[in-house]
């Protein structure tokens, strides 16, 4: 169906949103109906056959579920409407919006949206499947974002879907996750899919900057501002102007540095060290840290007003041990990468090697897997990698079984014992279960319980 022939229903309790959508769509569609009260949805659907419904995620209603959008989406589906439902959401509700896709929504748009993007989404919905759901993405879409972000696990699929939705906005994004999970790859993926993709991308490891270098590196300096300032120099924020700046390890900067950074973000201006005149900047801000948000929220360590500035959208990258089938997918990818790098025929991964890879707990995450595979490819003489060829760093080794440290509870002791025995038997589950005195099935259950 052509967009000109479409009938659109927009449901939002914000009058400004209804007006904006009405003005945008009136010349584009056959009919547009707007409604502030979602309670009127059943009667509207009984009297009209809409092609697309734009539905807000939040209403000031008596339902009080905290996610009214999901409630009304389910009601629309229960009423057997054939309309494609597009959810309207704010940055903070993106996780809920992703849930709505699993409940049958066609897509979602983030406020404030780009008009061209909204029209494209509606056009796709009008021309989509009769039941208003998207067709499954093509198989090759797994490599659209980055070959280093290969994934099959649902948790990573959700994250990459979120990236594609927030990347075209200018929202500040905070990326959380343990060391080695790929936070920088996530930042680069956001940049590559943003409207600033042809502009500068500047990365700064702010956690490594000393107090004396922090302002000079980020904001620049004038000649003579300090002993080694032999010429005027622009800082990283000026270098990233019109583009994106990525501040890595932001959880490790001091309160004094936080105060300086907050002033720049609030004013959208930098003042070079030794200068008086401010310089206007236009940057998209991405930040990353391995410090948990709860720990950062401690006012004695991190300013809450700065947290609000840097995490308009929050993305938490899961540790590798929680990514299931991604482990094998990534391992095979790294085998190919390093075989090509060292001009060798890519070896196969044996069953025992795969079992060892899947059983390991990866305290070093993807980075540790990458180094282990690189080492195995370099040292391998055979066409097949065995479990013995997969050697993990002794720095990350699990504590020895039977060593009960102060404060260790029963579950922690059981987990550490399982990890130790698995490491001892190179990931062989049969030998490990025999030594532990449990069946292989029972061992599988415990591996799932502890996300090993």
Are the C-beta atoms of 38 and 59 separated by less than 8 Å? Answer: yes
Please tell me the distance from the alpha carbon of residue 19 to that of residue 38, in angstroms, as a whole number. Answer: 17
Please tell me the distance from the alpha carbon of residue 319 to that of residue 314, in angstroms, as a whole number. Answer: 16
For 38, half-sphere exposure in the C-beta direction (CA atoms, 13 angstrom radius) is 25
Please tell me the distance from the alpha carbon of residue 231 to that of residue 272, in angstroms, as a whole number. Answer: 12
| Phi, psi for 344 (deg, rounded to 5) | -125, 160
For 396, half-sphere exposure in the C-beta direction (CA atoms, 13 angstrom radius) is 17
- Give the model's pLDDT for residue 143: 34
Please tell me the distance from the alpha carbon of residue 327 to that of residue 436, in angstroms, as a whole number. Answer: 25
Q: Are strands 201-205 and 173-176 parallel, antiparallel or unpaired?
A: unpaired
Run of H or E residues at 353: helix 351-359
Domains of the chain: 3-126 (3.40.50.2300), 150-316 (3.40.50.300), 321-449 (1.10.8.60)
pTM across the whole model: 0.65
Please tell me the distance from the alpha carbon of residue 144 to that of residue 163, in angstroms, as a whole number. Answer: 12
Sign for the CA dihedral angle at 387, 393, 398, 399 comes to positive
Are the C-beta atoms of 52 and 25 separated by less than 8 Å? Answer: no
Taking only the tens of pLDDT, the chain with its 452 residues reads: 678 889 999 999 888 889 999 999 999 999 999 999 999 999 999 888 999 999 998 876 544 454 788 889 999 999 988 899 999 887 666 777 777 887 888 888 887 777 888 888 898 888 764 445 554 443 333 333 454 566 678 888 888 888 888 898 889 999 999 988 999 999 999 999 999 999 999 999 998 888 878 988 899 988 877 777 778 888 999 999 999 999 999 998 999 999 999 999 999 999 998 888 999 999 999 999 998 877 887 777 899 899 989 988 899 999 999 998 899 999 999 999 999 999 999 999 999 999 999 999 998 899 999 999 999 999 988 899 999 999 987 654 444 444 444 445 677 777 778 887 877 776 777 777 778 878 877 787 787 777 67
Please tell me the distance from the alpha carbon of residue 197 to that of residue 332, in angstroms, as a whole number. Answer: 30
Closest C-alpha among 127, 128, 121, 119 to residue 107: 121
- Give the model's pLDDT for residue 138: 39
Terminal Cα distance for the chain, rounded: 50
- Give the model's pLDDT for residue 417: 82
């Amino acid at each position: 169906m052509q967009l000109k022939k479409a009938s659109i229903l927009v449901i939002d309790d914000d009058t400004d949103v209804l007006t904006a959508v009405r003005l945008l769509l009136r010349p584009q569609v056959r009919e547009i109906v707007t409604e502030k009260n979602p309670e009127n949805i059943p009667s509207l659907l009984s009297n009209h056959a809409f092609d697309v419904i734009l539905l807000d995620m939040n209403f000031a209603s008596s339902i009080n579920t905290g996610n009214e959008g999901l409630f009304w989406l389910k009601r629309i589906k229960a009423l057997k409407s054939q309309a494609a439902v597009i959810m309207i959401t704010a940055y903070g509700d993106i996780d809920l919006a992703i849930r709505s896709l699993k409940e049958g929504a066609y897509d979602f748009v983030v406020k404030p949206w780009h008009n061209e993007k909204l029209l494209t989404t509606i056009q796709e919905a009008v021309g989509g499947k009769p039941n208003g759901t998207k067709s499954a993405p093509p198989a090759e879409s797994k490599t659209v974002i980055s070959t280093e972000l290969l994934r099959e696990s649902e948790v990573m699929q959700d994250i990459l879907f979120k990236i594609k939705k927030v990347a075209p906005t200018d929202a500040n994004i905070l990326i959380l996750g343990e060391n080695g999970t790929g936070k920088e790859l996530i930042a680069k993926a956001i940049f590559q899919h943003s409207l600033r993709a042809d502009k500068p991308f500047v990365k700064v490891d702010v956690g490594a900057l000393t107090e004396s270098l922090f302002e000079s590196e980020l904001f620049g300096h004038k000649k003579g501002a300090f002993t080694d300032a032999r010429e005027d120099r622009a800082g990283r924020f000026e270098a990233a102007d019109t583009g994106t700046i990525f501040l890595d390890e932001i959880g490790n900067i001091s309160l004094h540095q936080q105060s300086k950074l907050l002033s720049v973000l609030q004013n959208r201006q930098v003042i070079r060290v030794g200068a008086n005149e401010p310089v206007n900047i236009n940057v998209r801000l991405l930040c990353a840290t391995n410090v948990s948000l709860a720990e950062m929220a401690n006012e004695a360590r991190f300013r809450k007003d700065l947290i609000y500035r840097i995490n308009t959208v929050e993305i938490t990258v899961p540790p590798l041990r929680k990514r299931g089938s991604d482990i094998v997918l990534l391992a095979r990818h790294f085998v190919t990468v390093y075989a090509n790098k060292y001009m060798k025929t890519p070896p196969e991964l044996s069953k025992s090697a795969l079992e060892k890879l899947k059983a390991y707990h990866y305290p070093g995450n993807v980075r540790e897997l990458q180094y282990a595979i690189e080492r195995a490819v370099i040292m391998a003489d055979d066409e097949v990698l065995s479990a013995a060829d997969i050697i993990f760093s002794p720095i990350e080794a699990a504590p020895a079984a039977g060593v009960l440290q102060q404060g260790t509870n029963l579950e922690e002791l059981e987990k550490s014992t399982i990890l130790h025995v698995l490491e001892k038997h190179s990931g062989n589950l049969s030998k490990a279960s025999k030594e532990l005195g449990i069946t292989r099935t029972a061992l599988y259950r415990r591996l799932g319980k502890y996300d090993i």
